[in-house]
Amino acid sequence: MLSCAKMIGIRSPFIYFIDPVRAEIVMEFIEGKNAKEMMTHDLAYRIGRYAGLLHSNNIIHGDLTTSNFIVGKKLVLLDFGLAFHSVRNEDKAVDVKLIKTILKSAYSSAYERTFNGFLKGYSKMVSAKEVGRILKNVYDIERRGRYARIV
């Protein structure tokens, strides 16, 4: 999935070596700060563009959080361990719902500004019609979770 992301213009670490027997991966060290430590409207916009670029190419990250972005000379997206291909708006909505939840909980005082920044960036890469459908799915997911019963 890292290769797929790279092919569409997402900056991600280079893989130098994989040893499946020892379950080891050696990859590029990314210099910079973690996005979770420096969230701004502009950074949320850039993250939104990355998410939109992934989704417009039917790539679901699976763990789209501020912890998986490094800000250095360029924005770098990490951890594609849960990534997969999908054309389903529901899958795209789960990615958007996760980043929305992170922004709301970790940056509550700046939530509206950062989430709006994310959506502006996302909307630059995904058609308005598609964004509307995905956001409707986000709303549906939120409603389902709100009334879930734990037995």
Catalytic amino acids? 63
CA distance 99 to 15: 26
Q: Which of 85, 92, 148 is nearest to 125 (CA)?
A: 92
Q: How far apart are the first and last CA of the chain?
A: 36
The one-letter code for the residue type at 119 is L
What is the residue whose two structure tokens read 């909505």? 93
